[in-house]
Structure 1
Amino acid sequence: MKALFLSLIFAFSVATAGAQQINNVDKLASHYISLKEALVNGNAELAKSKSAQLLNSLTAFPVKTLQPAQQKTFNAYAIKLKFDSRHISETTVIDHQREHFESLSKNMYSLLSGLNLNSAPLYQQYCPMKKASWLSESTDIRNPYYGEDMMECGKVTATIKAAGK
């Protein structure tokens, strides 16, 4: 009976830790998506603010709660993601923000697909005019590189499935 009780406690602890990791990854994805939407809408001030939130989430991310392979993945992309987030958060020149968003998006895709801890699917979308990708929470195309000028320019090229799916 004692062994069963300890097994249940251990299983609950593992499940709780896994849920917390998913929550932390979802927070990163949510900040990224908010930044993307600001760029879609051509709102440089909001992009600056949302990028600062993403930077804070990256800085505060509890890396040690991840499995060793996931820690290695996070550490491989964190510096690059922080660099681009910082640059976007330091300017209101939307063209400059979009330049850094291109690199940010590439590295965010690599991070999130490598961690595989998001609770909902994410879609990598590609703009052939810009020759750049971004992530979206839906399959609807809303281009962050050209905003209103080419809102629907792009296509879905990959899917990051939800964790455990």
Structure 2
Amino acid sequence: MKKIIVIAFICISTLAQAQLTSKEEVTTELVAKREAQKKEITNNYLVLKNNLISSDSLSVVKNAGVLQNSLQNFKFKKLNLQQMNEAMKTRKEIIALTAEITATKNINKQRKIFETLSAKFWELTPKLKADETKLYLQVCPMTSATWLSDSKEIKNPYYPKNMLTCGEVKASL
């Protein structure tokens, strides 16, 4: 009998917590905070890309860590269980890639890791992009390497010295 009461109490507590959480989600303050987090993550990615364009490997290390922290603090909302699992898995992979970037000061290695990171980041972009932000998926036709940009103007982070303007817009969100 005690087990049934304990189980019932746990179920009621969980339901009450779920209702509290759903009520918290609709407040304008929490919505604004969430949008700010999305904008921060997107901006951190773009700063990292721009560091690669300028071939500043020390800033790449620093800003990869900043991106990593902002991703770790983000909580996904309004996803079903499968979508949540996929998003969490992809975020974990991106965090691991940012850790790899922070572990090297070799700009060419950083660019190679960033190539994989960009492909993974694009997968999460619909869930991470702030509402007012427009992002473009750009591709280098010679290497098929992709990156995201907030501008249609091509600035290739993989070959900035030789092929800075080599690329094209592949998609946008």
Identity of aligned residues (%): 29
- Matched with 2:148 is 135
CA distance in 2, matches of 1:94, 1:59: 24
Q: How many residue pairs align between the two structures? A: 149
- Matched with 2:126 is 113
Letter in 1 for 2:79: P
SS in 2 for 1:142: coil
Conserved 8 A contact 1:123-1:136:
yes
SS in 2 for 1:152: coil
Consecutive unaligned residues in structure 1, runs of 5 or more: 1-9, 161-165
- Matched with 2:12 is none
Taking structure 1 as reference, are residues 12 and 58 closer, same or farther at Cα in structure 2, changes over 3 Å only?
closer
- Matched with 2:116 is 103
TM-score normalised by the chain length of structure 2: 0.78
Q: Which of the pair has more CA radius of gyration?
A: 2
CA distance in 2, matches of 1:110, 1:34: 19
Does residue 67 in structure 1 map to residue 78 in structure 2? yes
Taking structure 1 as reference, are residues 115 and 29 closer, same or farther at Cα in structure 2, changes over 3 Å only?
closer
Conserved 8 A contact 2:138-2:148:
yes
Determine which of 80, 87, 93 is the counterpart of 2:106: 93
Conserved 8 A contact 1:27-1:57:
yes
Conserved 8 A contact 2:41-2:128:
no
Letter in 2 for 1:109: W
Consecutive unaligned residues in structure 2, runs of 5 or more: 1-22
Taking structure 1 as reference, are residues 116 and 36 closer, same or farther at Cα in structure 2, changes over 3 Å only?
closer
Task: Indicate the structure whose relative CO is greater, using CA pairs within 8 Å and at least 6 residues apart.
Answer: 1
CA distance in 1, matches of 2:24, 2:65: 36
Determine which of 16, 20, 28 is the counterpart of 2:29: 16
CA distance in 2, matches of 1:81, 1:12: 26
SS in 1 for 2:169: strand
**Post-superposition CA distance 1:74-108 (Å, at most 9, x none):** 31311110111001111110111011101100011
Taking structure 1 as reference, are residues 16 and 71 closer, same or farther at Cα in structure 2, changes over 3 Å only?
farther
